[in-house]
A and B are shown apart, each in its own frame.
Chain A
Amino acid sequence: MALHSAAKGKLISVIGDEDTCVGFLLGGVGEINKNRHSNFLVVDKNTAVSEIEDCFKRFIKRDDIDIILINQNIAEIIRHVIDSHNSPIPAVLEIPSKDHPYDASKDSILRRAKGMFNPDELL
């Protein structure tokens, strides 16, 4: 408990499909702050790519968010934005979704690590 008093807790944000967002929000990660800004985005087939990009960029800029959970299939859509985020905070974690199982070969961090051992594969 000493841990709590020493440091302020940071948020986990979610960008995902309906089930991912409903599930993690049930788990207690959701928050609406004083400025009426939420820390989640439900992505469906009608969500514009620019909206996802803007939301991701907004989450990166917020200093109360330390982890961004994003479905891997959505991360694929905004891969260029994710790859350009080099700061360790907030950490971006690609998670699987109901319709798209986890594929390690698409993961941004693992691709970078693989590219370090074999630079030709990064091209």
Chain B
Amino acid sequence: MSQIQSSEDLDRVCDVLDKLTLDSLLLIEEKVRLTLNAENAMCGGEAHLAKARYIMGQNSVSALQLPTENSAEFTASAKVYPNEDEKLFGEASYELHLTGTAEGQTVQDPVRWFGVLVPQNLHSARGMFRQALQWAVQTVNIQKQLRATMEKIVELNEVKTRILAK
């Protein structure tokens, strides 16, 4: 009687393992696809940065313009928020929000670091990198799902080993 029970349990575990394995393969495919989308958006953004550099000068669009640890305090305008409506294995997915104000503070426009009259390409580069950011956040969500699926597969493999050992 217990042997029949074990064989049914084993079948059930194997079924779920099959489904999770298939899910993880689909998630891997999706992660690669989204990363390639982010790569395309970043390439576009980098081309616009190069054009802005050509117009403004080599060192006018570089790391030299970025704030350092001695610069005044400022807040990020692009932050991620948990989306409680979309949960998988108890974890909420992320949602990217771009705001002009963050927690009551006015957010500095990063374009201003590069000057007052900046070429249109710098604005285009910002748009492309924001797009890349959206793809990146979606990739992180898929990566979280993949990680959770992998953990479940490991757990079920242990259960399967225990059943087989009986």
Which residues of A pack against B, CB within 8 Å? Answer: 3-4, 6-12, 18-34, 36-40, 42, 44, 66-67, 69, 88, 91, 93-98, 101-102, 104, 109-110, 112-113, 116-117
Contacts and interface: CB of A to CB of B under 8 A. Distances in A.
- Dominant SS among interface residues on chain B: helix
B28 A66 contact: no
Contacts of B45: 23
A55 B70 CA distance: 17
Interface residues of B, number: 67
Closest 8 A/B residue pairs (Cβ): A9-B79, A28-B77, A28-B78, A27-B129, A23-B129, A31-B76, A26-B126, A42-B63
B45 to A, nearest CB: 5
Nearest to A29: B78
Which of B79, B110, B144 has most chain A Cβ within 10 Å? B79
Interface stretch (B3-11, B32-40, B158-166): B32-40
B76 A30 contact: yes
A27 B80 contact: no
Given A7-B81, A102-B39, A95 B136 contact: yes
A10 B146 CA distance: 21
B110 A67 contact: no
Interface in B1-36: 21, 24, 28, 31-32, 35-36
B154 interface: yes
Given A8-B103, A18-B63, A93-B143, A32 B126 contact: no
A27 B130 contact: yes
A75 B65 CA distance: 25
B136 A36 contact: no
A67 B94 contact: yes
A20 B42 contact: yes
Contacts of B110: 25-28, 30
